Structure 1
Amino acid sequence: MIRKELMTVVRQREIAYRIFELTARGSIVGDMEPGQFVHIRPADSFEPLLRRPISIAAIEPEKKEFTMLYRTEGRGTEVLAEKKSGDALDVLGPLGNGFPVHEAKRKALLVGGGIGVPPLYELARQLSTLGVETVHVLGFDSADSVFYESEFSAIGKTYVATVDGTRGTAGFVTHVLEGIPDDFDTYYSCGPAPMLKAVEQLYPGKTGYLSYEQRMGCGIGACFACVCKSNDARDYVKVCSDGPVFPAGVVAG
């Protein structure tokens, strides 16, 4: 159920270049699922006006805490990065449709690019709890923007690719994928649309789920700011409410 809540910031820190990890506490945590997101109001004033959509990276229901990772790239996230322990955080959520965790049976491939990496972390944790082996391929721009490599490695085999070659494989996640076995039954991916299309094309016939990044206004399907062309009878889908996770093949390239 979607609710608006003033949550409490537990802690916040910068974990990589312009990448912040923020943990907050509140009652809506119990409703969260991997792959969903929250809509954050960065400040109490009307500047900045719009909420910011941020994916859920980790869920701790017993503590009523969740963690989100985000990149500072505008006024809203710059204001959010100033939040400290004990501050109030205006949260609307959880929003959207998450990853179908139970679709994976034996082994799953998780592929993330940049700020598309965070929602895969809670997914990996839940799959591991279910006894599903996970392999992670994470793509970043450079070594100073890499995050959560050790956290993913603690769960399963993890590969890192950087565009400039300063860490892991030089290039994109596809350069890693072309060199590893495709013996998984299900894949999950989140990141820029070109990366998602490339992953989709690598594994025709495989069961896959893709989480799309799109600019959003309302986050609840009312403003139509995040529509994408669809390959099914709907013609267009709203990433915020129909997604952000879709079965492979639904969103047109």
Structure 2
Amino acid sequence: MRANTDTTIRLATGKILAAFSVTEDIKKIRISHRQTAECALPGQFINIKTSDSLFPLLRRPFSINRTNPAQGWFEILFRVVGAGTNALAQLKIDSDIDFVGPLGNSFSLPDKSQNSVLVAGGLGIAPLEFLAQKLTEEKLSAHLFWGNQSSEAFSYQKQFSRLNLKTFFATDDGSLGFRGNVVTLLERELAALKDENICIYACGPNPMLRALQNFAAAKNLTCQVSLETMMACGFGACMGCNVEKADGSGYFYVCQDGPVFDIKEIRIYG
């Protein structure tokens, strides 16, 4: 993947139009900001200031999950895990929201001869839903493989009815779909696709991405991954979101060189 060479810092203020609870700790927020809705690409993210106080001090990065350019809004999907996301979840409708973005590079869309396979682990679904939206708009179909610990998080799957997706689900406890991890499910189902011209798009925890990296290498498959990591600045100044290059020659910075990478370019530990 090529890095985004546009280093413009886009400071913006949006307004919260709606907020949804997917589960007790998974939230979705709809933000009004026409420019972002019109120019954002799948894989890009925004960096949000979650509080007007000194704590939490640093902005928090969130993948853009869905856009509606005609109505001028976009959405983010997140889990409440700490002070920053808890503050964000407490914001009320019509509240202003201070963010920077869209930032980073994006997924490269496939050509019409390729079979798109989306692989998500947990909230790795966030950027992949936006990608699926774009594929649907381009009249391209895709297969989605999504893994979670249990069936609870799949209450969100009703959102996919508007998308041109064939879905496969995996849970650790077997409460929905395949019992086991999502990469094992992909391995089992891949033969049924009957198409060697496959492009994989993935986002999820490092153990999943590491297993996927080994699988893609063994099958010689093209795979683009969106990396999840903490970021302080979002545009390469702090150099805190480093990921090791596959050849050992140095580091990429997820915010500046990514967050989307060819899986062959990076070392994934986990």
Report the TM-score when normalising by structure 2: 0.88
Match of 1:13 among 20, 24, 27: 20
CA distance in 2, matches of 1:104, 1:96: 25
Any idea what the Cα deviations from partners look like across 1:137-169, whole Å, max 9, x if unmatched?
111111222353222354211011111222221
Matched residue of 1:16: which SS? coil
Identity score, percent: 35
Shift of residue 31, structure 1, vs aligned partner: 2.0
Matched to 1:188, the amino acid is: Y
| Counterparts in 2 of 1:57 and 1:104: CA distance versus 1, 3 Å | farther
Match of 1:88 among 90, 96, 103: 96
**2:45/2:101 contact within 8 Å kept:** yes
The size of the alignment, in residue pairs, is 253
Instruction: Give 5+ residue unaligned stretches, structure 2.
Output: 1-7
Instruction: Give 5+ residue unaligned stretches, structure 1.
Output: none
Determine the structure 2 residue equivalent to 1:151: 159
| Counterparts in 2 of 1:97 and 1:147: CA distance versus 1, 3 Å | farther
Shift of residue 243, structure 1, vs aligned partner: 0.6
CA distance in 2, matches of 1:28, 1:157: 29
Computed over aligned residues only, the root mean square deviation of the Cα atoms, in angstroms, reads 1.7
Matched to 2:264, the amino acid is: G
**2:168/2:177 contact within 8 Å kept:** yes
CA distance in 2, matches of 1:160, 1:243: 27
Matched residue of 1:62: which SS? coil
Matched to 1:211, the amino acid is: S
**1:96/1:241 contact within 8 Å kept:** yes
Shift of residue 14, structure 1, vs aligned partner: 0.7
CA distance in 1, matches of 2:15, 2:51: 14
1:224-235 superposed matches below 5 A:
224-232=239-247, 235=250
Determine the structure 2 residue equivalent to 1:172: 181
Matched residue of 2:37: which SS? helix
Matched to 2:175, the amino acid is: T
1:94-173 superposed matches below 5 A:
94-102=102-110, 105-153=113-161, 154-173=163-182
Shift of residue 5, structure 1, vs aligned partner: 1.0
Which segment is superposed worse, 106-115 or 70-79? 106-115
- Structure with a larger share of its residues in helix: 2
Q: Does residue 32 of structure 2 align to residue 25 of structure 1?
A: yes
Q: Does residue 229 of structure 2 align to residue 221 of structure 1?
A: no
